Chains A and B, each alone.
Chain A
Amino acid sequence: MFIPLKYNIRNLFVRRTATLLTAFGIAVSVAVFVAVMALVEGMDQTFVATGDGRNIIALRRGAVSETGSIIDIEAPLIVRNFPGIEALSAERLVYVSTPRLQGNGSSNVVIRGLNDTGRALRPQVRLVRGRWYRPGTLELTVSRSIASRFRACDLGDEFPTGSTRWKVVGIFDAGNTAYSSEMWTDPDGPAAAFQRRAWSDIVVRATDKAAIAPLLHLLDAEPRIDVDARTEVDYFAEQTKASTPVRVLGNVVAVVMAVGSAFAAMNTMYAAVGARTREIAVLRALGFSGRAVALSFLFEAMLLALVGGVIGGLAALPLNGLATGTTNWFTFSEMNFAFAITPRLFVRGILFAIAMGTVGGVLPAMRASRLSAATAMRAL
């Protein structure tokens, strides 16, 4: 027979101060955990949202990103003749050190040189203001978030790179994708402004899903070009490693804080057991088994943690959607993203809290179950 839940809920109310202090302690740990993981989630979502299942991306063998890849100028002419290709776009990427609007410091912002075909391969990107750059000019169409976060990047601005002055002629929206951290121009732009003739990468759209595997094989095996081909989905999945340092930091911080919170919960529960020795004795005298008493206390600890978990999750919630930016060390350039608190993450936070409560509650619960009715009654 189990001790009714109401007993635990009432007890938490009676010991309000201890309950709140302990729950807040757990809430702080959960809030930190959810906040850090929301950052990781935001970064990862951006990468996942960017890859297109039918696009293949070819980089120099060993290169980890589009910006760190150099491909021979003739390579597209060879690749063009491969079977199964619907469209091909050879692109040049250069990152440019650009001052942030807010705060000090600069970051590297990518200028991607691509033609109409390249644009057609990214249907997520749509023009919202102004117009697209024209070929053969030094014009830029800039993502909305770069325009609002960096100096001289807004519509009508002149964006200087050394002696070259670019004209910002349009703003595009790339939703929640990696392109929302870029400025786009014609492929000849970077070639002229940065004396960069080689391509950075080749993006290929396969005619259908079945054509992908043979194409990947052809690209990898072709001896005249030294490239490493993968689907865009795989490429961007690989980039989620960029969030690994944050993820590791978040996990380490969360675990250490959780240890502290669990100790605190243990204190509170031991005190609860101590203060209710007589009650426990009465419960045992009424016929509740030691196991029922233990479960009741364990449950109380979990309930306490649940309250903390919900408070912590709610406290972190205002961060959801907050736009921020950092450097993606793979591309060595700025990446914009927004904190993302998904329902899944919220639940993870609460489970994390319950884990703290469980760890903190086990020993006190066992102690409560070991109190025999007779000694407990005599104790007071």
Chain B
Amino acid sequence: MSNNSQWVPTYTSLNVAFVRLILKNALRNRRRTLLTTLSVAVSLFLLVSLRTLITEMKGDTLMTEQSGRRLITRSAVSLQVPLPIAYKEKLARVPNVDRVSEYQWIPSWYREPNVPLMIIACDPEFMGTDPQYAIPPDELPAFKADRTGLIVPQKMMNKYGWRIGQRITLRGSVFPFDVEGTVRARFTGPSQNAIFCWYAYFNELVRRSIPDRADKSMAFVELTHTAADAPGVASLIDAMFTNSIVPTRSESEKNFVLGFSAMLGNVTLFISAIAAAVVFAIVLVTTNTMSMAVRERRHEIAVLKTLGFRPGHVVLLIAGESLAISTAGAILGIGGARVFFRVFDIYDLTNTVIQHFDVTEETMALAALLALVMAIVSSVVPAVSAARTSIANTLRET
């Protein structure tokens, strides 16, 4: 055999000429390669987006370093059953609790009744405690000094075109009152889906319209001294209120968020099933391309074998081409997804429904690995059929 020939590669040294041959092959039918690459690219783009959707639903990207120190205590029965305000004092006295705030949702809307907007009533002293929710230093005192002051996420300021000092009326959609307040401060941070106001102001509005509901809060937030304290504090709190009028459930901020994803039901399964279908589709497309290539080149594969190419070389030739196409598709699709979601803000695209959509490096690596596996899987059948090409029969055909 001509192992010493410059043209024919050995298994141990895949030389440059062999790689060039693969690339030349890939570029022979440029249109087909381009179409396949694009097909792989859009599918990988979709795959990356689906996985990002799943990771975002876990809420990790909304967590800050301090999230581990924050606990949320609410009624064990229902978010619709508020906790008495007297709980606040008791919570503040629990060992390892640094500070406590009321936490009350006020579903509202601004100008468009069908675009929901959430206000959270809290203790103003709790604001500004998390450095990852940055508030301009001169604005925080202004909020703390104004009973009807509001802190608004920067993204929402941009969306509605509000300015510091502007007086706005937010219409209540659950409580029978509107919240009229002055924008006193802005904040940035991972979660920018709610406006904050004083609990004291909220309570005043409640007392005027539904006195029954006054002096209660949907939940409380506790900040523990360290993250390690949090689980112990949570069970202590719940034990403390077991026999109270309203038994409580305390959990970390992350679990509180995860609870909402769990309410959606089997979404992860559903999205994963779609992702599996996408993977299957990519394999079909690439297999088809490679078998078309093999069918067209039967003749020359026989010639290559005559020249001394072993079946293994032929397999490598086909698998390599499949890999080259997949690599191009992966760069385009995976990289494209990363760039796309960096350039276009999902917050605006989905009208604030999805706040955050970050294609992580982990997702990209996983998709790249998958692309590699798919390239190999889809070249198996065509490559084997090419390797089996019989020299004599094929050359006799034409």
**Cβ contacts under 8 Å, A107 to chain B:** 262-263, 265
**Cβ contacts under 8 Å, A60 to chain B:** 173-174, 176
- In the complex, what residue of chain A is closest to B261 when comparing beta carbons? A105
**Cβ contacts under 8 Å, A267 to chain B:** 32, 35-36, 39, 285, 288-289, 292
Q: Are B277 and A28 in contact (CB under 8 A)?
A: yes
Known contacts A24-B284, A264-B288, A267-B36; A326/B265 CB under 8 A? yes
Q: Are B78 and A21 in contact (CB under 8 A)?
A: no
* B189-219 near A? 1/0 per residue, CB < 8 Å: 0000000000000000000001010000000
Which of B35, B171, B285 lies in contact with A62, CB distance below 8 A? Answer: B171
Interface stretch of the complex, out of A49-57, A91-99, A209-217: A91-99
Q: How many A-B residue pairs have CB under 8 A?
A: 176
Known contacts A68-B174, A198-B210; A94/B80 CB under 8 A? yes
Known contacts A63-B173, A96-B78, A107-B265; A259/B277 CB under 8 A? no
**Cβ contacts under 8 Å, A334 to chain B:** 263
Q: Are A64 and B212 in contact (CB under 8 A)?
A: no
Which of B109, B172, B285 lies in contact with A260, CB distance below 8 A? Answer: B285
User: Interface residues of B toward A: which range?
Assistant: 35 or more
- In the complex, what residue of chain B is closest to A328 when comparing beta carbons? B263
- In the complex, what residue of chain B is closest to A244 when comparing beta carbons? B353
**Cβ contacts under 8 Å, B302 to chain A:** none
Q: Are B285 and A95 in contact (CB under 8 A)?
A: no
Q: Are B288 and A162 in contact (CB under 8 A)?
A: no
Contacting residues of chain B (39-80) with chain A, CB-CB under 8 angstroms: 39-40, 42-43, 45-46, 50, 75-80
Q: Are A256 and B42 in contact (CB under 8 A)?
A: yes
CA distance in complex: A81, B46 (Å): 58
Least distance between A164 CB and chain B CB atoms (Å): 8
CA distance in complex: A178, B266 (Å): 19
Q: Does A177 count as interface, using CB distance less than 8 angstroms?
A: no
**Cβ contacts under 8 Å, A64 to chain B:** 114, 116, 173
* A98-120 near B? 1/0 per residue, CB < 8 Å: 00000111111000000000000
Contacting residues of chain B (224-275) with chain A, CB-CB under 8 angstroms: 243, 245-247, 249, 259, 262-267, 270, 273-274
CA distance in complex: A374, B264 (Å): 64
Q: Does A152 count as interface, using CB distance less than 8 angstroms?
A: no
CA distance in complex: A56, B293 (Å): 66
Looking at B77, B114, B243, B278, the one whose CB has the most chain A CB atoms below 10 A away is B77
CA distance in complex: A176, B249 (Å): 34
Q: Are A259 and B42 in contact (CB under 8 A)?
A: yes
CA distance in complex: A261, B264 (Å): 30
Contacting residues of chain B (360-380) with chain A, CB-CB under 8 angstroms: none
**Cβ contacts under 8 Å, B285 to chain A:** 21, 25, 260-261, 263-264, 267
**Cβ contacts under 8 Å, A197 to chain B:** 212
Q: Does B104 count as interface, using CB distance less than 8 angstroms?
A: no
Interface stretch of the complex, out of A29-37, A278-286, A344-352: A29-37
Known contacts A105-B263, A264-B288; A94/B78 CB under 8 A? yes
CA distance in complex: A194, B259 (Å): 22
**Cβ contacts under 8 Å, A95 to chain B:** 78-80
Q: Does A226 count as interface, using CB distance less than 8 angstroms?
A: yes
Q: Are A67 and B80 in contact (CB under 8 A)?
A: yes
CA distance in complex: A10, B186 (Å): 69
Least distance between B247 CB and chain A CB atoms (Å): 5
Known contacts A260-B281, A267-B35, A324-B266; A162/B46 CB under 8 A? no
Q: A25-B285, A32-B277 given. 13 additional CB < 8 A pairs?
A: A18-B292, A28-B278, A103-B266, A105-B262, A106-B263, A107-B265, A108-B79, A163-B247, A253-B50, A256-B45, A260-B40, A325-B265, A326-B265
- Contacts A/B (CB < 8 Å), 8 sampled: A62-B171, A97-B78, A106-B263, A108-B78, A161-B77, A162-B81, A197-B212, A256-B45
